[in-house]
């Protein structure tokens, strides 16, 4: 077992949400249940378009009198604006707050715990997050992203904004959607995809020799398009793949062979129903 490492995450920023109606306000917007979140608990969620596409990912960190929203720093102002647009008469306060976001993780994937740490709800192997003062970082955000990529977990660079559906980005497998909570923005499309029981596309890691292909490069199964490459590094990348075209076939990107490495937290693709 290796010692946990601490990585500052400058790509993330924090929004504070408080006021008597903060729970009911967020409950009607986010894909995750916040009515039952406890102080010290972290939940992974998304804010969708009305058509069900993923606009922004966020973590909700429970406080005794409100919550912190851990969001992409590049989108913090836009998220504050969008949340404020939905506020109407709700008694809720929304605003940016200057807190450092850091990840605490073990390179071997062992869970971490401790005072002030919020366990990452996606996978225990991702460790925990901390908001505010922490010990001196001994790892970079690139180190943390490499750890996340090794676990096959997609990130904001993969789903961008208003491009993918949350189920395509594996939110349903990473505790990012509560299908029992009731209405939220984009719920109709999200629930319909779940009810159908057959997900056509998912983000999965691919492995290969050499540098990562360009973002958007085609993944081919023979001559058929099987998906596209997303973010990555030498030897490994995420890809949005058609599940019906990646089993038992040779895949290539720019003429190079690639292989899907399905994480153990992703269930196998069910066989297609027989044609009649």
The CATH architecture one would assign to domain 199-260 is Beta Barrel (2.40)
Residue with tokens 């005794």: 64
Q: Dihedral angle at the C-alpha atoms of 112, 181, 29, 24, nearest 10 degrees?
A: -90
- The whole-number pLDDT of residue 196 equals 79
pLDDT at 1: 63
pTM of the full predicted structure? 0.93
Asked if 131 and 118 touch (Cβ cutoff 8 Å), the reply is yes
Span 5-20, pLDDT tens digits: 999 999 999 999 999 9
- Is it true that domain 5-159 has CATH number 3.30.2130.30? no
The pLDDT of residue 275 is above 90:
no
CATH 2.40.30.110 range(s) for the chain read 199-260
Q: Tell me the pLDDT tens digit for each residue of 75-121.
A: 999 999 999 999 988 999 999 999 999 999 999 999 998 989 999 99
Q: 242-275: string of b/e by CB count within 10 Å (b at 16+)?
A: bbebbeeeebebeeeebebeeeeebeeeeeeeee
| Residue 276 pLDDT level (bands cut at 50, 70, 90) | very low
Per-residue pLDDT tens digits for 192-242: 988 877 689 999 999 999 999 999 999 999 999 999 999 999 999 999 999
pLDDT band at 272 (very low <50, low <70, confident <90, very high): low
As annotated, the residues of the chain forming the CATH 3.30.1360.120 domain(s) are: 5-159
pLDDT in tens, 43-75: 999 999 999 999 999 999 999 999 999 999 999
- 205: CB partners within 8 A, 6+ apart: 149, 152, 236, 237, 238, 239, 260, 261, 263
- The yes-or-no verdict on residue 23 having pLDDT over 90 is yes
Q: Is the pLDDT of residue 122 over 80?
A: yes
């Amino acid at each position: 077992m290796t010692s946990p490492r601490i990585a500052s995450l400058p790509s993330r920023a924090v929004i504070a949400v408080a006021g008597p109606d903060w729970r009911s306000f967020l409950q009607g917007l986010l894909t995750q249940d916040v009515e039952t979140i406890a102080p010290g608990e972290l939940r992974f969620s998304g804010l969708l378009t009305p058509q069900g596409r993923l606009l922004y990912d966020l973590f909700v960190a429970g406080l005794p009198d409100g919550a912190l929203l851990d969001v992409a720093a590049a989108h913090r102002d836009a998220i504050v604006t969008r949340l404020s647009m939905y506020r109407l008469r709700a008694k809720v306060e929304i605003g940016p707050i200057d807190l450092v976001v850091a990840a605490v993780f073990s390179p071997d994937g062992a869970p971490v715990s401790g005072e002030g740490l919020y366990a990452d709800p996606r996978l225990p192997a991702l460790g925990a997050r901390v908001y505010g003062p922490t010990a001196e970082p001994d790892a970079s955000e690139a180190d943390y992203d490499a750890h996340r990529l090794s676990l096959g977990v997609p990130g904001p660079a993969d789903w961008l904004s208003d491009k993918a559906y949350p189920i395509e980005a594996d939110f349903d497998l990473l505790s990012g959607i509560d299908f029992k909570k009731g209405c939220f923005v984009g719920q109709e499309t999200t629930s319909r995809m779940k009810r159908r029981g057959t997900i056509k596309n998912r983000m999965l890691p691919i492995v290969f020799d050499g540098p990562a292909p360009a973002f958007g490069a085609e993944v081919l199964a023979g001559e058929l398009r099987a998906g596209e490459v997303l973010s990555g590094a030498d030897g490994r990348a995420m890809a949005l793949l058609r599940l019906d075209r990646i089993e038992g076939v040779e895949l290539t990107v720019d003429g190079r062979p690639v292989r899907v490495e399905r994480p153990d937290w992703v269930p196998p693709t069910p066989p297609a129903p027989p044609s009649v």
